[in-house]
Every structure is written in C-alpha cells, then in structure tokens.
Amino acid sequence: EPPCPTGPLVLQVPTWPLLEGDTVTLRCRRWWDMSVTRVRFCREDEKVKKSFHGTELSLSPLQLHHSGCYHCGGWVNSGVSKGWHESAPVTVTVHGEHPHNSH
C-alpha cells in the first residue's frame, strides 16, 4: 500500500491552548505500532533534546520562548519505511498569562 503522505512519524502536540507556566508533552509517534529509537526534537533548526530511549519531550514550565516550529526525527526499525525519518513540522504557540490574572 502507498506510504502515508506525511511520512511514518508524527509529532503530537496538545490541541488546547498552551499557557505560560503549564506543562506540555510533545510525543514523537509512529503512525503504526512499530518501534522508533534515537528520537530527537528540534525547534526551528536547533536541537532541543536528543533522547535514545524516550519518544517524549516535556516542556515545563512553559515559557513564551518555547513557541516555534517543532519537528521530531527518529530511526524507524522495521517495515517498508525502515531508516531515518522526520515528522512534518508543527507550530507550538505559548500564550502569556492574561494581565489581570497575574496577581
């Protein structure tokens, strides 16, 4: 069957609004249940974290400077798409706290 157009890796980001001070977890996942290792996360073109065991990146507490375009890459160990893959980019937007809630 034809490969998924976005590739075998997907970067999962919560769909709710992300607020300064929150905790958010980005997950680098396979579309199918096959293992992926040597995962790394990038914001813009800068490496955020290299993880040889985990597939998650936790940002806590969230800061405004965490906003940006993220993607993940990893080594897919099995299947027709064996090899290094990168996910499509996902935009993460961190919202500052509402001014009158900060007291």
Phi, psi for 41 (deg, rounded to 5): -115, 140
User: What does the alpha-carbon distance between residue 8 and residue 80 come to, in Å, rounded to a whole number?
Assistant: 10
Q: For the segment 14-52, what is each residue's pLDDT rounded down to a tens digit?
A: 999 999 999 999 999 887 766 889 999 999 989 888 877
Instruction: Answer yes or no: is pLDDT of 101 > 80.
Output: no
User: What does the alpha-carbon distance between residue 32 and residue 44 come to, in Å, rounded to a whole number?
Assistant: 26
Query: Coil, strand, or helix at residue 3?
Result: coil
Phi, psi for 18 (deg, rounded to 5): -95, 125
Q: For the segment 63-82, what is each residue's pLDDT rounded down to a tens digit?
A: 999 999 999 999 988 777 78
Instruction: Answer yes or no: is pLDDT of 4 > 70.
Output: no
Instruction: Answer yes or no: is pLDDT of 99 > 60.
Output: no
Q: What is the pLDDT of residue 8?
A: 83
Q: What is the pLDDT of residue 36?
A: 87
Query: Coil, strand, or helix at residue 56?
Result: strand
Degrees, nearest 5: CA angle 59-60-63 = 85
Can you read off the two tokens belonging to residue 57?
Answer: 């990146």
CATH code assigned to 9-93: 2.60.40.10
pTM of the model: 0.81
Q: What is the pLDDT of residue 67?
A: 96
